[in-house]
Amino acid sequence: MIIGLSAVAVLVGVGVVVHLASRPDKHVQANQSQPNQSQHSPASSLPACSSATATGCDKSRLPSGTRGSSGCRGKGPSTITASPIAVSDLAYIQPMGLMIGGHVTPIDHGYFYIKGAVAHPPEQAAVYAPLTGNVSVVTRTVRRGNPAAEQATYDDYAITIEATCTFRVRFSNMVRFAGALGDNVGQLGENESKTPNFAVKAGELIGYTGLPTAYGIDVWVENDDITLTGFVDPAQYTAAEAWKTHMADLFDSTEEPLRSQLLALDERDATPRWGKIDYDIDGKLVGNWFRVGTGGYGGNQFGKGGNYWTGHLSVVYDGNDPRQIDVSFGDYQGQAQQFAVVGNTPDPATVDQSSGLIKFELGQIRQSSRDTGKPWDGREYVPHVTTRAGPAVGTVLMQLAGQRQLKVEIFAGKRASQVVGFDAGAELFER
């Protein structure tokens, strides 16, 4: 599996894909939702605000109750009528819900991977506006590499396109902007953002993606009029990422025949085809958990340059093959790692306080084509991806100690039969 340049896929043995995260991206949107309280007088000479949280500006033009910019118009959902990457340039589509490296909880965006990124030599691909709307925000982020780890520094261009004040699409991992949009915004400085409020039409060229930035684009689809119901404490998510509980289904938002063309390249067979990120059931093991004292989803390091995900834990279902139970750790022997449950039982949605102590044996996540049985390396589309656990490499003990309290201990390198119960290394998680 190739996730932009945020991760490296390493093949270990036959059929084992180990995901090693090198730079898990954390996309923090500036226009987090807050009550829209007017802070101007009729004679205000302040410039129009670009978002609901902007300061030192005139908020009178912001639509009430939305995260829209000063340039958005109307409310309600819209329809994607153009592919952001030409279908002929697409390798495959990875829907949201994957967990990899520092993305410990299910990822809230999908990925459009391009054929050119694995070509020899590599080729970049054009990126197009998926719908007609307003470009509200553009950014250039310089991602600093680690020369010691042979990680290069690269530019990551991102864009937000509003169809209405409540429905928007965002892309990141672009190499540069292009077309009329590129001419309008000009060359952005290092880590610079602009609010161009620039009108684009569906299918219009807006930039390029590919190496050295990434293997394709990250894609968010947001609808403020819907709210995901599978988070026990949604406020802790929206406090860090205002869009988190408003993720919409890309395929449901796309018109035919484009919808069917994109679905034909989607690596997830299960419904919903665009994936799922909210699995919490109150009083059950399934879903996201956070180590006590680490600050919940946002983490004590959020926005400070630290690893906000260190205290995260997720016990959910595989993003591509939800028949398989996965366990994702923010800290497994000092690094974020993901595993498939050996034996694939018990179902975490059935585990509650009455279940007592639960032992999960952990194996490396193995993905292959159900049709051919061949391992999937994430370089090209294969139909019917199947996920299974490799041989056990460790065991984790879990026990619900309360409605929203979980006791956890990791025993790396041990089989379940070698572990009797908790000892001094046990930790408490909450949500």
Asked whether residue 7 carries a pLDDT value surpassing 50, the answer given is no
230 and 272 share one domain: yes
The answer to whether residues 100 and 176 belong to one domain is yes
Task: For residues 221 and 249, state if they share a domain.
Answer: yes
Q: Mark whether 255 and 286 lie in a shared domain.
A: no
Q: Count how many domains the chain has.
A: 2
Nearest to 156 by CA among 188, 179, 114: 188
Q: What is the pTM of this model?
A: 0.85
Mean pLDDT of the chain: 87
- The pLDDT tens digits for 290-308 are 999 999 999 876 555 578 9
Any idea what the Cα angle at residue 397 is, between residues 395 and 403, rounded to 5°?
A: 150
pLDDT number for residue 144 = 86
pLDDT at position 303 is 57
Least confident span in 12-21, 92-101, 399-408: 12-21
What 3 state SS string does the chain have?
A: CCCCCCEEEEECCCCCEEEEECCCCCCCCCCCCCCCCCCCCCCCCCCECCCCCCCCCECCCCCCCCCCCCCCCCCCCCCECCCCCCHHHEEEEECCCCCECCECCCCCCEEEEEHHHHCCCCCCEEEECCCCEEEEEEEEEEECCCHHHCCCCEEEEEEEEECCCCEEEEEEEEEEECHHHHHHHCCCCCCEEECCCEEECCCCEEEEECCCCCCEEEEEEEECCCCCCCCCCHHHHHCCCCCHHHECCCHHHECCCHHHHHHCCECCCCCCCCCCCCCCCCCCCCEEEEECCCCCCCCCCCCCCCCHHHHEEEEEECCCCCCCEEEEEEEECCEEEEEEECCCCCCHHHCCHHHCCEEEEEEEEEEEECCCCCECCCCCCCCCEEEEEEEEEEEEEEEEEECCEEEEEEEECCCHHHCCCCCCCCEEEEC
Residue 9 pLDDT > 80, yes or no? no
Query: Does pLDDT of 41 surpass 90?
Result: no
Residue 137 pLDDT grade (very low, low, confident, very high; cuts 50, 70, 90): very high
Cβ-contact 198, 206 below 8 angstroms: no
Name the residue type at position 337: Q
pLDDT at 305 (0 to 100):
59
Domain C-terminal end among 262, 278, 294: 278
Q: Mean pLDDT across the stretch 403-420? A: 97
**Are residues 168 and 73 part of one domain?**
yes
pLDDT computed for residue 61 by the predictor: 46
**pLDDT of residue 161 exceeding 90:** yes
Q: Over the stretch 47-101, which tens digit does the pLDDT of each residue have? A: 444 444 444 444 444 444 568 999 999 999 999 999 999 999 999 999 999 999 9
Task: State which residues form the domain around 136.
Answer: 1-278
Q: How confident is the model at residue 146 (pLDDT cuts 50, 70, 90)?
A: confident
Q: What is the mean pLDDT of residues 327-351?
A: 97
Q: What is the reported pLDDT for 25?
A: 40
My answer on whether 272 and 284 are in the same domain is no
At residue 300, the pLDDT reads 76
Of 235, 251, 278, the residue at which a domain comes to its end is 278
pLDDT, position 231: 98
In angstroms, the CA 148 to CA 165 distance is: 45
Residue 155 has pLDDT above 50, yes or no: yes
The reported pLDDT for the residue numbered 67 is 85
User: What band does 18 get if pLDDT is binned at 50, 70 and 90?
Assistant: very low
Residue 145: predicted pLDDT: 80
130 and 190 inside one domain = yes
**Residue 418 pLDDT greater than 80, yes or no:** yes
Q: In this structure, are 259 and 293 located in the same domain? A: no
Q: What is the pLDDT of residues 206-259, one digit of tens each?
A: 999 999 999 999 999 999 999 999 999 999 999 999 999 999 999 999 999 999
317 pLDDT above the threshold of 90: yes
* Claim to verify: residue 328 and residue 419 sit in the same structural domain: yes
Q: What percent of the chain has pLDDT over 70?
A: 84
**In a shared domain, residues 146 and 43:** yes
Instruction: Check whether 23 has a pLDDT greater than 70.
Output: no
User: Could you tell me if 193 and 77 lie in one domain?
Assistant: yes
216 and 288 within one domain: no
pLDDT of res. 147 = 75
Cα three-residue angle 384-389-392, rounded to 5 degrees: 170
pLDDT higher at 99 or 45: 99
- 254: domain CATH number? 2.70.70.10
Residue 375 CB neighbours (<10 A):
17
User: Which of 227, 255, 278 corresponds to the end of one domain?
Assistant: 278
Alpha carbon distance 123, 286 (integer Å): 41
